[in-house]
Structure 1
Amino acid sequence: MDFVSVRVITHDVERLATFWEQVTGLPATRPVPVFAELRTPAGTIAIGAPATIGMLGDAAPVTGQNGSVLLELRVDDVDAAWERVKRLVPQTVPEIVLEPTDMPWGNRSMILRDPDGGLVNLFTPVTPEAKAKYRR
């Protein structure tokens, strides 16, 4: 089995696609107005309007109410990402939840919120063990 993507459902696909482009530096493709995606070497961040999951009816995810998922992206240098991202507050990035911090499991992480309130962790492995775990 291979992980392919995670899809975030939003009422404003363009706003969220722009957020991800500015935070990651990756371009988003927008094949139709209700869908966009950013491809990374490990998988895709997909962004869809509620219309993309309408067939799920009452089982469909509710936009802006994610309280249990944290999207995590490994970056080459979290401190450099911090310097870039902090300039995006508050226009594109509404909130920095955690400035770059060394975690006990060997990563240096910063956590921010996307425009719909979702949490995003940008991290860099810093200890030898963490670097070995994420070696490409």
Structure 2
Amino acid sequence: MKLGEVGFLTNDVVRLAAFYKFLLEIENGSDDSVHQTIIAEETMLTIYNDGSSKNNQNQNICIAFTVDDVDKEYERLLKKGVKIIDKPATRPWGAKNMSFSDPDGNTVYLRSFSENVKEG
């Protein structure tokens, strides 16, 4: 079985999609205000408004992306004014992680692995 899609429900599709297009450095060619799909490699990130009101207090979900260089991404996010939760730090298991909030308050993790540490 493969994970087919990760979806974010939001009140502001354009704003949240723009953030993830910036983060993933991907352009999907859409400015739709109801539904946008952003494809990165084999996984789809879908951002949509299902018509219900969201409270943007998303405390039970997070999303993590593996990147080549967490420090480089940290600097890029700082320049964009992104709200950083935890600065890059090497964890006891060897991965280097950082976390931040997306515009709706979802927690996003970026992580990188040294050649000595395998992902997973």
Equivalent residue number for residue 57 of structure 1 = none
Matched, 1:7 2:13: no
Q: Does 1:70 align with 2:58?
A: no
Letter in 2 for 1:97: I
Aligned residue for 2:49?
49
Structure 1 residue 23, shift from structure 2 partner: 1.6
Q: How does 1:1-136 map onto structure 2 within 5 Å? A: 1-30=1-30, 32-51=32-51, 62-89=54-81, 93=82, 95-126=83-114, 128-130=116-118, 133=119
RMSD: 2.0
Q: Secondary structure at the match of 1:98?
A: strand
What is the alpha-carbon distance in structure 1 between the residues aligned to residue 7 and residue 87 of structure 2? 26
Amino acid of the residue matched to residue 69 of structure 1?
A: I
Q: Shift of residue 41 of structure 1?
A: 1.4
Please report the TM-score for the alignment, with normalisation by the length of structure 2.
Answer: 0.88
Do the aligned residues in 2 keep the contact of 1:29 with 1:38 (CA within 8 Å)? Answer: no
User: Is the 1:78–1:110 contact (alpha carbons within 8 Å) kept by the matching residues of 2?
Assistant: yes
Q: Deviations over 1:1-47 (max 9, x none)?
A: 11111100000000001111112212235384301121111411110
Counterpart-to-counterpart distance in 1, 2:42 and 2:95: 18
Partners of 1:74 and 1:117 in 2: CA distance: 20
**Secondary structure of the corresponding residue to residue 50 of structure 1:** coil
**Structure 1 residue 106, shift from structure 2 partner:** 1.8
Moved more, 38-47 or 112-121: 38-47
Contact 1:17-1:28 within 8 A present in 2 as well: no
TM-score, normalisation: structure 1:
0.78
Cα contact 1:29–1:36 (8 A) shared by 2: no
Distance 1:104 1:42 in 2: 29
